[in-house]
Structure 1
Amino acid sequence: MIRKLALVFAVVPALALSAACGGQSGDDDGKVTVVWWHGQADAEGDILKGLADEYNKSHPGIEVKPEVGTTNVDDMLQKVQAALAGGDPPDIAYMYGSWSATLAETPRVADLSSLVKDPSFGWDDFWPAEREAATVDGKVIGVPSVVDNLGLIYNKKLFDAAGVAYPTKDWTWDDFRSAAKRLTDASKGVFGTSYVATGDEDTVWRFWPMLWQQGGSILSPDGKNAAFATPQAVQSLELWRAMAVDDKSVYLDQNGEKFLPLFYSGKVGMEIAGPWAMRDLADHKVDYGVVPLPGYGGNHQTISGPDNWVVFDNGSKRAQAAKDFLAWLTKPEQDARWSLGSGNLPIRQATSKLPAYKEFAKQYLGADAFLANQDNAVQARPSITSYPDISAKIGDAIDRVLLGQATAQEALTGAAAEADKILAKG
């Protein structure tokens, strides 16, 4: 999905240039209108509507109009592309962080660098991975809307039944494999862990922390070549192959929708997942714990997938009003209502010091562990337009290894060769 959307969006810059002078600065009644596509339905959409209503009451010269835009955020890039082609994009849209490089090439996307550099904005209060995912070649294309990370969630009941000690923050990947093998019980349909084997970014981003923990990089420093096919990366992927093929301790989820429900129902002992699972864990009354990812040599680096609010330039008045609104929306008090109210981690560190976060952490027992794990998210995936195509090659390679169709060495070497071809095309 992401790969297709990125290719479709490649036509936007030319279209955006033709519409760059479009857009109205205000309504007939003198108010400046800000159209806000947030992509959220139900309770989450109600939270954002409430925030917009509050802002409008305290800012009589501005009317923020929250609209869903699309109920499937996967389609937001395509939806905005169509709006740009028609010359009437929203003023603000919810965008995945993986789209940042493509958005940075679109002239209609506002540069928010001056906004975040204002001391009153508190840019340094956002975690490094958030700031990096929103920045492309020095241009800040958005401000964080959601932040997450990958940790290790484990089912205490299954660990107790198997007589296995709970995971700790010092676990190695060998510890992880050993526990998964002991937790597996084929007669009961119980697996030690799972892996999303969909061949897309959901597959790939689970692998990058293992590369980073060993000092590896996805690309060379100049960004011209793949750098991920290292002996250490091969060893990491071989560990997953051995778990899936030899130990048979891994449930391979080939549609990406079964692994968490299986965990909730007590059929999987450990999951590499993020804070988005906490609401369902609470609803299913799972007795669980959260620790950082297993590591190499004491390095437990993880990965974060921040999303952004992106501003489109519909004239100076509307663009400025949109920026002012986002500066207000991302303050700790509003962040607490939006992020915590929707079951997500706070997007900024100051929010975690508020009483609202303490109540949130009581409701969601994994919150503190995931919040602390943000310190292990110190880098982001490459902000280049060709990343989705490179990711697809790597995702396919990982799938083939997990299914026993290729060795880790040949799969990663082949994917790196394909990535080099993609990079060579610019």
Structure 2
Amino acid sequence: MRLIRTLLVGTVLSLSALPALAKQDIIWWDFLSGGDGVRMKSLIDAFNKEHPDIQIKGTTLEWGVPFYTKVRTASAVGEGPDIMTYHLSRTPIGMQEKVLSEITDKDLGDAGLKKSDFFDAPVDAATQEGKLYAVPFDIHALVLYYNADLLKGSPYLDAEGKLTGIQTMADFEKALAWAKEKGVETPVTYQSGGDAGVWRVFYTLLSQQGGELVTNGEILAGDNAAKAAKVIDTLSKWRENGWAPEQAEYVASVALFSAGKSAFQLNGVWEVPTYKDLEKNGKLGFKWSAVEVPPFMGNRATWADSHAFAIPNQGDKTVSGEKRAAVMKVIGWMEKHSITWADAGHIPAYKSVTESSDYKAMQPNATYASLAEAAVFDPKSPITGVASPAYDAALNIIAPAIQGFMTGEDAVAQIKEELQGKLK
């Protein structure tokens, strides 16, 4: 008996001498505010609750230039986060700045993921020189919102009140003219006075013509110039005819639609929860929905980007070992729980979630999910992407041209001069 007691005491003492399993604190940076921020915080809280051994310590920074400037400077001196949200459109810039750490097949395995789990377009956007540098979380794209009440009595609603009969630009402009004749204040609204909104519409319509911004190191080469000018002149025509707003900033462009003053809106999927919440609280006052942007200029194509997860380099090093495995575990968990993120209007990049019955029950999300096949990401160039020279050109050249200060042809000449010098 004494021998057994001695053995037990010895075992307890031996176990107590072992080092405790280290808790991994994961430093997380994102740029997500509003509804996106609320949903991401709920995901982080849920992960932390389920994983006492891995705790995410989250910080939200200002979207756009401030976020990416902070990432670049912090990474350069080895003081960046362990994981960050990242726009895939900025992958080429991130490579140029040496910010992004390669996501290897082993990393994906640690997350319980593989490339084939995701839609092709965002994986391609996250890939540079055959290597993956971020894990796509969603596809967020331009969609066409419509006010079904304002379109009553038109040939543009079917028996179920769904949009119909609009495939070409001629169809759409007839619908805009019809709405104007019926007293609709602004038949179509979009952010006509801001860089992001102008770029998204411009790039969608350019891509629908098979146009490209950058080819073989040249800006709007060959007939791409004429295609770009056609887009600008079309958008200018909308304004001249009173179909689109004069220099509307983002909030104003959304307010035109939510106030029932626009029959259509060209905007991102992220406004879906805005209208759902207004509808739920009885503050919307009309029936609405959203669809993939029709092939106005010939081909199915719509501007798209992705929020993704990336691991920044820390000076000349990168997150490694157990910490890196923990980061990948976070990413894998987020992907597999992205139905919560889909509630923000985004299309999950992780296909099994988008193909799930839960997602298919989400409306109008499931209706426009087809655009995953038509998504066109910005060119793989350091002059494009969020907070890039291309966005500057949209604000400083394309927007004024839309407002009638120059022709589409003159605007294209300025775009070529402005961007060519920045293309290395």
TM-score by length of 1: 0.80
Q: Which residue of 1 aligns with 2:116?
A: 124
Which runs of no fewer than 5 residues in structure 1 stay unpaired? 1-26
Q: Which residue of 2 aligns with 1:182?
A: 178
Residues of 2 paired with 1:297 and 1:405: CA distance? 24
Cα gap change, 1:28/1:75 in structure 2, threshold over 3 Å: closer, same or farther? farther
Q: Which residue of 2 aligns with 1:257?
A: 251
CA contact (8 A) 1:145 1:309 kept: yes
Larger Rg: 2
Residues of 1 paired with 2:108 and 2:174: CA distance? 48
CA contact (8 A) 1:196 1:252 kept: no
Residues of 1 paired with 2:344 and 2:57: CA distance? 16
Cα gap change, 1:219/1:343 in structure 2, threshold over 3 Å: closer, same or farther? closer
Q: How many residue pairs align between the two structures?
A: 382
Cα gap change, 1:224/1:241 in structure 2, threshold over 3 Å: closer, same or farther? closer
Look up the SS of the partner of 2:190 in the other structure. strand
Residues of 1 paired with 2:377 and 2:255: CA distance? 28
Tell me how far 1:84 sits from its aligned partner.
2.7
Tell me how far 1:368 sits from its aligned partner.
1.6
Q: Which residue of 1 aligns with 2:75?
A: 84
Instruction: Supply the AA of the counterpart residue of 2:406.
Output: A
Cα gap change, 1:328/1:85 in structure 2, threshold over 3 Å: closer, same or farther? same
Q: Which residue of 1 aligns with 2:168?
A: 172
Q: 2:319 aligns with which of 314, 317, 332?
A: 314
Which runs of no fewer than 5 residues in structure 2 stay unpaired? 1-18, 158-162, 280-285, 313-317
Q: Which residue of 2 aligns with 1:382?
A: 379
Look up the SS of the partner of 1:53 in the other structure. helix
Residues of 1 paired with 2:232 and 2:55: CA distance? 48
CA contact (8 A) 2:191 2:249 kept: yes
CA displacement, residues 31-54 of structure 1 (integer Å, 9 cap, x when unaligned): 333222234466324322233224
Say whether residues 1:219 and 2:214 are aligned partners.
yes
Q: Which residue of 2 aligns with 1:330?
A: 335
Q: Which residue of 1 aligns with 2:348?
A: 346
CA displacement, residues 304-342 of structure 1 (integer Å, 9 cap, x when unaligned): 1112111122343322321232133223xx1223x1344
Q: Which residue of 2 aligns with 1:418?
A: 418
Residues of 2 paired with 1:318 and 1:109: CA distance? 16
- Of the structure 1 ranges 209-218 and 37-46, higher mean CA displacement relative to structure 2 is found in 37-46
Q: Which residue of 1 aligns with 2:145?
A: 153
Residues of 2 paired with 1:320 and 1:274: CA distance? 34
CA contact (8 A) 2:311 2:319 kept: no
Cα gap change, 1:256/1:393 in structure 2, threshold over 3 Å: closer, same or farther? same
Look up the SS of the partner of 1:168 in the other structure. coil
Residues of 2 paired with 1:169 and 1:416: CA distance? 36
Cα gap change, 1:229/1:216 in structure 2, threshold over 3 Å: closer, same or farther? closer
Say whether residues 1:203 and 2:198 are aligned partners.
yes
CA contact (8 A) 1:40 1:68 kept: no
Q: Which residue of 2 aligns with 1:398?
A: 398
Residues of 2 paired with 1:354 and 1:126: CA distance? 14
Tell me how far 1:199 sits from its aligned partner.
4.7
TM-score by length of 2: 0.81
